[in-house]
Amino acid sequence: MTYSNTMKDSFNLTTIAFLLIAPCKSFNFGSDSNVIRKADKIHRNPPSLSNRRTCMQPFSKLTRRSLSSVSMDETAWTSLSSENGCALKKRVLEKGSEDESVITKGSLVKIEYVGTLAGEEDWTVEDVINCWISNMQGMTDDDTIVSAFRENGVDGAVLLNPDVFTEEYVAQTLGVSNRIRCKKLIMAAKRLAAQQTDFPMGTEFDSSLSRGRPFEFTLGSGKAIKAIDTAVGTMKVGERAEIIGRADCCYGAEGYRTGEGKVVVPPFATLQFNIKVLE
């Protein structure tokens, strides 16, 4: 089918006008959606997200940092990893009421929050091993693979660089002689690298503010993901904090999808939350 020049010009002008006036929106999964609730694992291939728009900003600029240690110069960050067995960090943005005590398990709490993707490029070697390798079937059966990752410093930057993490590198440098395992590692790394583009760092994936109501749950009941439950258990009413949690604190190797199969949080995603305890 062909179109006249007049029709083409009209179409182009209409398209430009739409792009100029179209409002910038974040993900909105309906009034009944609450992504930070503990999700069931859904085993489906990710649908196409080519029409997804990303233009929201988190409350504060996300600073890239590793998760498995607090040996950074930002001393305001406190590790909560020992409290839940996974990599989680917190820093206080606004102190809570001095008259309030830290929220205890079993308390009914209301919070407002904004959740954004934090990316995986800053994974340390231990993050790669504990969060990624440990979830790959057959990879931890052989200690030599884990040892090779440690000895060669395979962190997020190496893992996600297709020019470095090649089949030759895996086979020769890491010594993975089994071709099936070698291919499996390469393909998994490529999927994770592509995810950095498909789900950019800083993308807002959920917010109680966008729904116009706080999230209410009982602390320690398992109704919220581990990162939220653990962090709120260290907070007071009125406190606002920023947390960054590795996938094992959040949605794990499966990520999170809507009932229709749309990917909300991709697999292995490190997440950032800005949380305020209201009551």
Question: Residue 88: which CATH number?
Answer: 3.10.50.40
Predicted pLDDT at 36 = 61
Which of 198, 218, 245 lies at the terminal end of a domain, its last residue?
198
Q: Across-strand partners of 109?
A: 217
Q: Is the pLDDT of residue 239 over 70?
A: yes
pTM (whole model) above 0.75: no
Alpha helices in 128-234 (DSSP H): 143-151, 156-159, 167-168, 179-198, 208-211, 226-232
Say if residue 107 is in the same domain as residue 228: yes
For residues 58 and 272, the answer to whether their CB atoms sit within 8 Å is yes
> Hey, is 6 helix, strand or coil?
helix
Say if residue 98 is in the same domain as residue 138: no
Overall number of domains in the chain:
2
Question: Highest mean pLDDT range out of 72-76, 134-138, 140-144, 204-208?
Answer: 204-208
Predicted pLDDT at 97 = 85
* Residue 261 maps to a domain: yes
Domain span holding position 152: 125-198
Per residue in 172-207, pLDDT tens? Answer: 999 999 999 999 999 999 999 999 999 999 999 999
Say if residue 130 is in the same domain as residue 192: yes
- Torsion-angle region of residue 125: left (phi > 0), alpha (psi -120 to 50) or beta? alpha
Give 234's contacts (C-beta < 8 A, 6+ positions apart): 80, 83, 90, 102
Say if residue 194 is in the same domain as residue 257: no
Predicted pLDDT at 226 = 94
Query: What is the rounded CA–CA span in Å between residue 263 and residue 256?
Result: 6
Say if residue 179 is in the same domain as residue 147: yes
Say if residue 112 is in the same domain as residue 215: yes
Per the prediction, the chain carries an average pLDDT of 79
Say if residue 205 is in the same domain as residue 242: yes
